[in-house]
Amino acid sequence: MIDAVTDFHSLFGLKDQGVRAVCSTRQGGSSQGAYQGLNLATHVGDQEWVVMQNRERLADQFDLQGEPRWLNQVHGAQILKVDQNPVSERGDLAADGAITAASNTVLAVLTADCLPILLSSCDGSHIAVVHAGWRGLLAGVIEAAVASFQGAPLCAWIGPAIGPCHFEVGPEFKTLFPEPELFLSKLGQRDCFDLPRAALRCLDRAGVTRVVQSGRCTVCEVDTFYSYRKEGVTGRFASLLWRL
């Protein structure tokens, strides 16, 4: 878990390439009620001024170099190319991922059961963030993000998300995802879908072999992370990546 600012490439046993990462939790914010804690999303019903306060607290806590580029995530496959223009690319474009080669440009994804995936070229020249739920996997969001690197060798981190211990699904999922190893069967209960493993397969098929998984389940650790499946109305935590 990268809950402090981390040299991203050290997670893979590589030398420092000037890429930094952090994943927030729900701890320490100003939101109340269903959003209790450090909710960083403006679209879930929390008071906007409180969310802005939480975002300022996030930036101060981790000494972020500017406002993160928040996305309007729509469970699709569009990857936004980001430069250093803070006006035209700030959080108002529908995308489920972003890529940049710019320094001190913080990319961010918001999640509460879906997968946050952080990507970097092994030389640190380009970075990307991806929001991947099951709809995004079907849409090809991981493949679209990897293709944005134009063949460069990559490192990938898969963050906290709903685990196969809790992601109950209907029989139609076995048509959508025909690989039987992606499902956990429980006697007398519905099948459970292994979202992180499905993402890992997508990464592997796209040629990404350097992968680290957090192994954290948002439902199991609902006191630490937000979980839409567990709570219904709730907040969102953020996974962030930037180049120095």
Return the CATH number at 29. 3.60.140.10
Can you give the residue range of the structural domain that contains 21? Answer: 6-161+211-243
Q: How does 94-133 read in b/e, with b if 16+ C-beta sit within 10 Å? A: ebbbbbbeeeebbbbbbbbbbbbbbbbbeebebbbbbbbb
Residue 87 has pLDDT above 60, yes or no: no
Mean pLDDT value across residues 87-103: 79
Residue 102 in any domain: the answer is yes
Q: Tokens 């995802």 map to which residue?
A: 177
Question: What is residue 85's predicted lDDT score, i.e. its pLDDT?
Answer: 57
Residue 90 has pLDDT above 60, yes or no: no
Residue 29 has pLDDT above 70, yes or no: yes
**Paired tokens of 167:** 């992601």
Residue 1, number of CB atoms within 10 A of its CB: 13
Number of domains in the chain: 1
- Per-residue pLDDT of 100-158, as tens digits, reads 999 999 999 999 999 999 999 999 999 999 999 999 999 999 999 999 999 999 999 99
Residue 193 in any domain: the answer is no
Mean pLDDT value across residues 61-87: 88
Residue 132 in any domain: the answer is yes
Residue 186 in any domain: the answer is no
